[in-house]
Structure 1
Amino acid sequence: MGKLIILGTTIGNVEDISIRALRHIFESQVVLAEDTRVFIKFKNILKDRYLDTLESLEINIDTKQNIHSYREQNHDRVVKDILEQLKDEDVAIATDAGMPGISDPGFKLIRDVIEAGFEIDVVPGPTAVTSAFVLSGLPTDYYSFVGFLPRKKSKIQKLLDNYNLEQTSLIVYESPFRVIKSLEILKELYGDDLSVSAVGEITKKFQRVERGKVAEVISNFRKQAPKGEWVIVIRKL
């Protein structure tokens, strides 16, 4: 009987890849990839850059692999086949970047695999959530991650009413097209004293960090527009 391998990869910098991840990326016979093209490209980049390392670790780079697309949208159609494969062999799941299940495909499959009685293992990898949080300089005693914010102010307020920002740091994801608008809504809800840290393109060449009160961060974004995906941390200090 096989097990499901939750395969954490990198979030932008390929040098963050782990040895365990390399082994599963190249030696897993069945891989569920969010986008098969992205996975194959990533695998080729690793092979080109770390061929000597792969050989010294005796990782078989020529393993014949069945790479299938797995997304939340096709879960119901493919889950039965995945469970059948697990009866005979391990299956690895990887997303385009980071950790499956964290604002990426994975939760439904993990849930169903557990319910079906199969083992699960995890290959830890970096996540934008924790990386941006420790970069923020905001208190790390208590925190909550809520994924992407709703678009409407009323829904944002309803969501955030569940949290006391004087006691909890809140972490959210945001697209470059919504960063300023979302920060403006947060300013309206919590006032000028709201402390903010926003991290974009994390671990990549053009990583950018903006810290300060919410009005200051908004002003900085108006001077230099945000690019790429962003992680925003907020706290009332």
Structure 2
Amino acid sequence: MSSRENVTGRVVLVGAPLGNIGDASARMREVLATADVIAAEDTRRLGRLAKDLGITVSGRVVSYFEGNDERRTPELIEALDGGAVVAVVTDGGMPSVSDPGYRLVTAALEAGHPVTAAPGPSAVTTALALSGLPSDRFVFEGFLPRTGSHRRSRLRELAGEPRTLVFFEAPHRIVDALTDLAGAFGGDRAAAICRELTKTYEEIRRGSLADLAGQASEDPPRGEITLVVAGAPAGPAPRPSDDELRAAVAEREAAGVTRRDAIQAVADEYALKKRDVYTIVHQR
């Protein structure tokens, strides 16, 4: 065992409440009150959290977010080398799950420092449980690509995924995301929009992707959003008639999907060749 592995410095990933302070654990309070260094996604929110928890943070507080984690990580490793307990806390949920923390975890492990957790709430599993969709097998996809073409390309890859899918999404992109999901997966695929989980204005919208896209367009959901979508049905769907294929492409086009992407999505859904669907769509 190296001398570095004998140092007591360690990383503690702290699961913060999603919104309801009552979800904070006694261990979370202890870690935040006693850690030598706290790497916080937002130092101001950490201050409010500590006040709500009724604790005094005695350690050094540093900001640690996606924009500075590459620069900040070596500093935190240096603190670990000196024997410090470094706590990582995000604005809500578990660090390193689509949030800062992963870079430090890998660097700490590579440097021979132990990594542990004071586990807490997770928006992923909370939304999954509340969605009403199958939860025995699921896959977390994080945030979809921001640009339309990249997002649609990713969704085409996922269209045949049989497990329930969980995404994070920003309010200003949710309508476009739902429209593209309906185009790639079919408008009748079941889904749930889970927003502001555990907070005062918690809301779960359940329905088909097409219905949810329409609702979101008329009444855009606000706040932090976790989107849960049912997996693809087992096996390719029965081959529909030519008229049904044309209608399926037209439905996706009406939802804002390009004809090229709509044809690809329909071909994928029914395990057909793209050129065959193209020929059917363009038949006069």
- TM-score, normalised on structure 2? 0.74
Cα contact 1:72–1:108 (8 A) shared by 2:
no
Matched, 1:78 2:66: no
2:39 equivalent in structure 1? 32
| DSSP-derived class of the 1:73 partner | coil
2:205 equivalent in structure 1? 210
Query: Which of the residues 108, 125, 141 maps onto 2:120?
Result: 125
Judging by fraction of residues, say which structure has more strand.
1
RMSD: 1.7
Structure-1 separation of matches of 2:102 and 2:168: 18
Cα contact 1:172–1:231 (8 A) shared by 2:
yes
1:46 equivalent in structure 2? 53
1:23 equivalent in structure 2? 30
Structure-2 separation of matches of 1:39 and 1:160: 35
Q: What 5-or-longer segments of structure 2 have no aligned partner? A: 1-7, 234-284
Cα contact 1:197–1:233 (8 A) shared by 2:
yes
Q: Tell me which moved more, 219-228 or 27-36.
A: 219-228
1:179 equivalent in structure 2? 174
Q: What are the within-5 Å matches in structure 2 for residues 93-172 of structure 1? A: 93-163=88-158, 165=160, 167-172=162-167
Cα gap change, 1:62 to 1:159, in 2 (>3 Å): closer
Cα gap change, 1:222 to 1:161, in 2 (>3 Å): closer
Query: Which of the residues 50, 64, 72 maps onto 2:58?
Result: 64
How far did residue 222 of structure 1 move?
3.5
Which one has a bigger Cα radius of gyration? 2
How far did residue 141 of structure 1 move?
2.5
How far did residue 164 of structure 1 move?
5.3
Aligned partner of 2:124: which letter? V
How far did residue 127 of structure 1 move?
1.1
How far did residue 102 of structure 1 move?
1.0
Of structures 1 and 2, the one with the larger relative CO (CA 8 A, separation 6+) is: 1
- The percentage of counterpart residues that share the same residue type is 34
Cα gap change, 1:188 to 1:162, in 2 (>3 Å): closer
Structure-2 separation of matches of 1:86 and 1:31: 12
| DSSP-derived class of the 1:199 partner | strand
Structure-1 separation of matches of 2:136 and 2:121: 20
1:188 equivalent in structure 2? 183
- TM-score, normalised on structure 1? 0.88
| DSSP-derived class of the 1:177 partner | helix
Q: Tell me which moved more, 77-86 or 169-178.
A: 77-86
Structure-2 separation of matches of 1:165 and 1:209: 25
Query: How many residues were matched structurally?
Result: 224
1:106-155: per-residue Cα shift (whole Å, max 9, x none)? 11110000000001111111111110011111111221111111133432
Cα gap change, 1:26 to 1:118, in 2 (>3 Å): same
